[in-house]
Amino acid sequence: REAPVSKMLAPCLLRKVVLTVPLVFVVALLLVEPVRCDQEAGTAIPAESRPCVDCHAFEFMQRALQDLKKTAYNLDTRTETLLLQVEKRNLCDCVTANLLN
């Protein structure tokens, strides 16, 4: 007699399992908090994940360094020119003073 009852329960249990398992997955997905991109705000982002920012910063610093080198060269050249003018003026003043004596 037990054999006919278990044969009848098998399709019923299978149907319940087939309906229950997806329902459990849906409920689990609804209960799990989704990961948001702003959750880890304030943490340092490694350089490997932001190469464009680093490349732009490097290029900016490289251009700034080149500008500083040009400015320093121009200042050196201008200073040298002014020193030569002063030496020339002193030399001329010295020669003129010697000629007058």
Where are the domains positioned within the chain? 5-34+55-100
Mean pLDDT, residues 90-100 taken together = 74
From 67, 47, 43, select the one nearest 56 (Cα to Cα): 47
Mean pLDDT, residues 79-88 taken together = 90
Residues near 54 by beta carbon (within 8 Å), at least 6 away in sequence: 47
Q: What is the pLDDT of residue 34?
A: 63
Tokens matching residue 66: 């080149």
pTM of the model: 0.38
Residues in the chain: 101
pLDDT digits (tens, 9 = 90+) for 30-57: 777 665 555 555 667 666 666 676 677 8
**Residue of 30 and 90 predicted with greater confidence:** 90
